[in-house]
């Protein structure tokens, strides 16, 4: 099989693994904190099928894989009812941060495996892709702009009226932010983390 095809498959598999664990921990945390909404919808699951978003998990990653060789995407958002939390603001923030925390846990696990095992060709390459993708997902989701997870941390300190405005205008803020500051702020942070881990930057 062509090496480029193998690498593309690795990126797609890595995406399925990473976003599945990411969304699972969102759902598990919400349920643990008293909101059973996600559990009732079958989202407290490590089955990737439970988290598939047709555009973000299938269409966009396939298009990127075929055109750029790099894969990015998202899963179906976990639905929660913050009114079920004992503390509305804290429960929502902890549930949100659980996603990037899942990515951080995977970064540590896969980096540990990569460092411990001898070079093993394609398996080492797959581990590198897993680590790199989780770094990207973690950093991206920590951007404090709705609808990303990082914005929910602001819910603990901002007035509800400000939060509602952010939720309305957040997507319109996010796109210019990525376009104008992605190359100067966001991507350098990703490269810095990969460098700390002793991994090459994403090409």
Residue 119 catalytic? Answer: no
Calculate the alpha carbon distances from 97 to 44, 141, 156 in Å.
16, 9, 12
Contact (Cβ atoms closer than 8 angstroms) between residue 148 and residue 175: no
Selection from 45, 29, 22 nearest residue 107 by Cα: 22
Contact (Cβ atoms closer than 8 angstroms) between residue 87 and residue 115: no
Contact (Cβ atoms closer than 8 angstroms) between residue 128 and residue 199: yes
Choosing from 4, 23, 161, 167, the catalytic residue is 23
The residues assigned a catalytic role are 23
């Amino acid at each position: 099989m062509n090496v480029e095809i193998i690498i593309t498959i690795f990126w797609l598999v890595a995406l399925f693994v990473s976003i599945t664990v990411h969304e699972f921990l969102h759902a598990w945390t919400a349920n643990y904190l008293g909101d059973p909404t996600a559990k009732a919808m079958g989202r407290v699951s490590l089955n990737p099928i439970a988290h598939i978003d047709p555009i973000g998990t299938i269409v966009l990653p396939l298009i990127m894989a075929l055109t750029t060789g790099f894969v990015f995407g998202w899963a179906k958002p976990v639905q929660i009812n913050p009114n079920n939390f004992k503390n509305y603001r804290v429960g929502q923030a902890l549930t949100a941060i659980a996603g990037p925390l899942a990515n951080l846990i995977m970064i540590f696990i896969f980096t540990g495996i990569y460092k411990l095992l001898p070079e093993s060709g394609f398996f080492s390459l797959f581990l590198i892709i897993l680590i790199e993708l989780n770094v990207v997902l973690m950093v991206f989701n920590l951007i404090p702009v709705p609808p990303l997870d990082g914005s929910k941390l602001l819910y603990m300190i901002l007035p509800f009226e400000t939060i509602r405005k952010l939720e309305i205008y957040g997507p319109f803020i996010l796109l210019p932010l990525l376009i104008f500051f992605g190359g100067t702020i966001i991507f350098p942070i990703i490269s810095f983390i990969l460098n700390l881990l002793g991994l090459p930057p994403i090409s």
